[in-house]
A and B are shown apart, each in its own frame.
Chain A
Amino acid sequence: MEMFDCNVCLGLPYAPSVPPDAYIEKAEDLLDRMAFCGINQALVRHIAMEEESPVVGNQLLIREIASFDRLEPSWAILPPQTGELGTPDELVARMKTDGVRALWAFPSKHHYLLTGTTFGGLFEIMIQRRIPLFVSAKERSNGIEGFAMIEALLRDFPKLVLVATDHGCWGEDRLFRPLIERYEHFYIDTSRYELAGGIRDFCDRYGPHRMLFGTGFPEIPMGGAFLTLLHAEISDQAKAAVFGGNLQRLLREVRL
């Protein structure tokens, strides 16, 4: 079974929220950590994309993971109006050159509105090219946060492939399940899905195709989400979909 982690970050943060040596700076060390836990592949971002600037972090990530096939790059977006990452067409052209098939939004730190006014042009292109957007459920924009922010986005762009990561462990099913029912291109990751019996219950209701395996490493140890999914009360076929099949399908469908 291919285990493809959709939520992994490289690099050292300004202010570690866990012990500093829990962070991983180099791609080789990340691969070692993945091998230790038995994870084959990862969709990676660099913390500089969020904490420094996508202008720096996007390219830093490409350089850092260039020699490692098992690490798939993802980039961060900025408002096209400031031109820091070029026009949407230029951004997509660079994604094609560097083999990037997924994007992240960090509206809290990057100080922008994650709305159609700001990103309408880019999101229309992402919908046409089926490029997935990853957003942490901890993010905040336009005075709203978490799933309220995500719903506002999906209401305007229901065909956008959107993956919400890091939903809290203190019970968020009542928040995200209505979005799963309404928006067919909406997915959640499993990094904080610690709920007892949660994966089985979710898959019984919605099938296994709306959930992506993620660990949230290095903030969170890889082993928790991994063992939870490995022994979830769902079929092997369903596990294969969540562990890697769903993410591979989403990335395969991207047309750059």
Chain B
Amino acid sequence: MRNPSALAKEFRKYGKAASCPIIDMHGHFGPYQGIYFPADTAEAMMRIMDRAGVRMIVCSSHTALVDTRRGNPEMAEVVAKYPDRFRAYWALNPNYPDRMKEEIEAYPEQKGFVGFKFLSDYHKVAITDDRYGPALEFAQEHRMMILMHTWGNSPYDGPALIEEVAKRYPEVTILMGHSGYGEWDRAIGVARDYPKVYLELTAAYHANGVIEEMVQGAGSHKMLFGTDMPWFTPHYGIGCVLCAAITDEDRHNILHRNAETLLRLRGVNLEEDDG
């Protein structure tokens, strides 16, 4: 292998790297409609995380994306059981405003959650719709982080809409899940122009050359690693990052450093957790 990256050599040999404890900022949990998962329990996910040196994953329960009342508590149980490996997003569904109001009010009591999760493309409500207002106002007031599903040219969560939200709620840290898949230039521009908007790489990494474009356009300090696990194995995304024409410093930023900073701001100190 001619790749000069020290990280690539270490991952190739061991499947993981001690100096690069990966943080996966886009995970899920439990079964889902259109896919067979061989590894959707917390224990199976941790087995796969261990093989790839994934230190921690931040998840939203699949159930919570459909029914927040059943799903968010399910995720809370996982985090309570494995607090050193799992953190979670509190999922909200704007189609049920009364429930969403209750969920927002309940959020401050929750342990182990680091922000909200929006899935606008699936809920068929544009991220700029008034129904998201209460959640975004709350997030703005509390300087929260939100993982938003984003997809290129989507009428619900395309990069142009994310830009509107970023403009209107500048204190909210927005993780653009899937990096506005396919509408790369626009997504990169939003991450570049808005200090609290990040490109999250789930699935985006498999578009050859896009990681390099993101590093050039937005900078590796605005990129985060994610896998949708239990959908995708971490080694696939890691392999794409390792073979991209970027530096190991960029790889460290993407694979763990930026996430460590964001999580630290939300009370997750991974160094302390390491003992």
Contacts and interface: CB of A to CB of B under 8 A. Distances in A.
B38 A18 contact: no
B35 to A, nearest CB: 3
Contact of B243 (A196, A219, A223, A233): A223
B208 interface: yes
B70 interface: no
Interface stretch (B115-123, B137-145, B231-239): B231-239
Given A19-B209, A224-B205, A169 B232 contact: yes
A111 B210 CA distance: 31
- Size band of the interface chain A makes with B: 35 or more
A196 B238 contact: no
Contact of B209 (A22, A192, A200): A22
B38 A195 contact: yes
B39 interface: yes
Contacts, number: 136
A196 B227 contact: yes
B231 A171 contact: yes
Contact of B210 (A18, A173, A224, A232): A18
A224 B237 contact: yes
A227 B208 contact: no
Interface residues of B, number: 45
A166 to B, nearest CB: 11
Most B Cβ at <10 Å: residue of A200, A220, A223: A223
Given A223-B242, A227-B238, A197 B209 contact: no
A27 interface: no
A36 B208 contact: no
Contacts of A217: 208
Most A Cβ at <10 Å: residue of B36, B227, B233, B238: B233
Nearest to B238: A227
Interface string B228-251: 011111111111111110000000
B82 interface: no
B213 A19 contact: yes
The 7 closest A-B pairs by CB, nearest first: A171-B35, A223-B243, A227-B239, A22-B209, A38-B1, A197-B39, A223-B239
